[in-house]
């Protein structure tokens, strides 16, 4: 399981201000911290970038890759920003992300095919709504995977995100279980060892009780890992969660490690 930092996001005040001031330092400080914490990649969540999408995404990408060689994930619904970001990246980047929403199939899928990038595919309805259960998610996975192949995206470029929802939703716990089922079932269903990703922070979005929040995250994370999750998108600067994530990795990685590495 690879650990992807979700810390570089525009909804974070320091990042928002840095973007407004075109000041790369806070972005770079954050990127360096994520690398130090053990991230295997960084998600650059720029938001939709209604104004100047190209120059602002390029600013973020350039700022970050000045201080780290970690792979980048470009996270925006704006296809202009995605394209500009891809061109600015020194190394192959991942597009985040595609779904059955018509605007995304139209604008993001061709980008993924043309630039031969990895692409994260959300199991959402065409109207952007979250499916109620695993069956619906798996149906969408089949359709979306097919769309990718038809567009010329290679199977090993596809990364599926089954969409973790907040536990505070009325059916939050049920949805959390269904996500595990999707991760366990996908590869057999698609007949390909497709990679998967999930956003851990979503699980406790809106939760105030930090003890409960940690308990939920630290329990669900190993369950995702044991279900076969390939990549976890998470706050890598949460010391407790990162310790659990690293331990999950020891328990699920193929090569043998000694017990001394835990901690």
What are the residues binding a second copy (CB under 8 A)? Answer: 167-168, 170-174, 176-177, 180, 207, 209, 211-212, 215-216, 218-227, 243-244, 247-248, 250-252, 256-259, 262-263
Spatial contact of 73 and 35, defined as CB atoms under 8 Å apart = no
Between 115 and 174, name the residue whose CB sits nearer to a second copy: 174
Smallest gap, in angstroms, from Cβ of residue 235 to a second copy?
Answer: 17
**Which is closer to a second copy, CB of 11 or CB of 258?**
258
**Which is nearer to a second copy, 116 or 177 (by Cβ)?**
177
Q: How far is the CB of 246 from a second copy (least distance, A)?
A: 9
Supply 2's token pair. 């690879």
Which one, 160 or 242, has the nearer CB to a second copy?
242
CB of 258 to a second copy, least distance (A): 7
In this complex, which beta carbon is closest to a second copy, that of residue 24 or of residue 199? 199
Burial of 239 (0-12, 13-18, 19+ CB in 10 A): exposed
Cis peptide before 220 (omega within 30 of 0): no
Look at residues 178, 235, 197, 45 and name the one whose alpha carbon lies nearest to residue 121: 197
The gap between the terminal CA atoms of the chain, to the nearest Å, is: 17
CB of 54 to a second copy, least distance (A): 41
Q: How far is CA 128 from CA 86, 101, 103, 140, 212, in A?
A: 24, 6, 11, 12, 29
3-class secondary-structure state, position 130: coil
Q: What's the min distance (Å) between Cβ of 123 and a second copy?
A: 19
């Amino acid at each position: 399981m690879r650990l992807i930092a979700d810390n570089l996001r525009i909804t974070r005040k320091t990042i928002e201000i840095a973007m407004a001031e075109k000041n790369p330092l806070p972005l770079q400080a954050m990127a360096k911290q994520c690398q130090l914490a053990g991230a295997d990649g960084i998600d650059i969540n720029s938001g939709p970038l209604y104004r100047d999408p190209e120059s602002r995404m390029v600013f973020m990408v350039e700022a970050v890759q000045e201080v780290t060689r970690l792979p980048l994930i470009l996270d925006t619904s704006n296809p202009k920003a995605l394209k500009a970001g891809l061109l600015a990246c020194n190394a192959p980047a991942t597009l985040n992300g595609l779904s059955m929403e018509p605007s995304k199939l139209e604008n993001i899928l061709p980008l993924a095919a043309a630039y031969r990038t990895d692409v994260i595919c959300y199991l959402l309805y065409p109207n952007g709504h979250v499916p109620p259960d695993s069956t619906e998610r798996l149906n969408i996975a089949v359709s979306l995977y097919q769309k990718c192949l038809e567009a010329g995206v290679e199977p090993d470029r596809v990364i599926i995100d089954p969409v973790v929802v907040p536990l505070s939703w009325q059916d939050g716990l049920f949805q959390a279980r269904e996500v595990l089922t999707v991760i366990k079932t996908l590869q057999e269903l698609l007949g390909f060892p497709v990679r998967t990703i999930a956003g851990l922070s979503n699980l406790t979005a809106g939760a105030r009780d930090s003890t409960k929040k940690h308990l939920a995250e630290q329990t669900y994370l190993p369950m995702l890992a044991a279900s076969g999750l390939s990549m976890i998108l998470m706050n890598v600067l949460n010391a407790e969660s990162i310790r659990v994530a690293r331990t999950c990795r020891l328990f699920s990685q193929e090569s043998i490690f000694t017990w001394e590495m835990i901690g």
